[in-house]
Amino acid sequence: MKVESFYDTDTSTFTHIVIDESTKKCAVIDSVLDYDQFSGKITTKNADRVIKYIKDNGLTNEWLLETHIHADHITGAFYLKDHIGGKTAIGTGIKDVLKTWVPLFETDGDTPLTGEQFDQLFKDGEKFKIGNLDVEVLHTPGHTPACATFKIGNAIFVGDTIFNPNLGTARCDFPGGSAEDLYDSIQKFYKMPDDTVMYLCHDYPKDGDAPLVKITVGEQKTNNKMIKANTTKEEFVKKRKERDDTLAVPKLLLPSIQTNMRLGSFGPKSANGVQYIKIPIKFDPK
């Protein structure tokens, strides 16, 4: 296995290309579409870097994998499928996310509650292949109900479940989130060998520092500021909830969730040829 990772500085997101060098087959995990919320402009700089790498290296893409429905960036899966192919896939927990968010946006006309907009919905423990590489899907809810981790050999692609040790873990205050569930999910990682390599979805480095793309389970168990090897569930839940109470809403939450439930598609065009994002307004006079 070879892993090539691309970092988007605007959303602090890693996109990983997992390659089976024996067959030249690959998969893309957590792609990014560039979206400027102030102008409504979409560009494809990050997705095009992925396309170029795959084509330049003579690779065949088999999968476009999502670790969850992201709230901080828009996936490039819809765009990538048109250019490099591959089946789109996410964990079966997506159905719980759809039940919560589709009624809020009133997008049931173009966002099926069944999850059929994805080519594959993976059950917990389900296995598939990237070329000759064996992949196991682990449901790791807590941040969202749809969170899943992809285990390939001695590596795991953990999405937002856990971060750089100096940041801790994902937040759990989104609808369907649960600090208790997140603790249990992370215990799945901590039971793995210490040399298991975690590939992260995000990092937020200080100026001048390089983003941390991967770390071992052993390093997390020793150094993670929110959940070390001996941290109890009660301790973690208390720290996580206290931290979540201080966090602002992600600036791209509403555009991201709405479009990511459609794999990054902005939906059908209106009669004037323009696509629109719905922003629910909550009026709270005080």
pLDDT(48) > 90: yes
d(Cα 112, Cα 99) in Å, to the nearest integer?
10
Longest alpha-carbon distance in the chain: 63
Q: What's the topology of domain 2-260?
A: Metallo-beta-lactamase; Chain A (3.60.15)
Residues 155-165 have pLDDT tens digits of: 999 999 999 99
- For 159, other C-beta atoms within 10 Å of its C-beta total 27
β-pairing, 197-199 with 214-216?
Answer: antiparallel
Inter-residue contact 32 to 47 (CB < 8 Å): yes
- If we measure between CA atoms, which residue out of 80, 13, 22, 82 comes closest to residue 53? 80
pLDDT at 123: 98
Residues 256-267 have pLDDT tens digits of: 999 999 999 999
Can you point out the beta strands (E) in the chain?
2-8, 13-20, 25-29, 34-36, 41-43, 60-65, 87-91, 120-122, 127-130, 133-139, 148-152, 155-157, 197-199, 214-216
What's the one-letter identity of residue 25? Answer: K
Does pTM top 0.85 for this prediction? yes
d(Cα 91, Cα 113) in Å, to the nearest integer?
14
192 exposure class (CB count in 10 Å sphere: 0-12, 13-18, 19+): middle
Domain residue extents for the chain: 2-260
Rounded percentage of the chain residues whose pLDDT exceeds 70: 100
The string of DSSP codes covering 168-184 is: -B----STT--HHHHHH
Report the SS3 class of residue 6: strand
pLDDT at 96: 97
Place of tokens 């290309």: 17
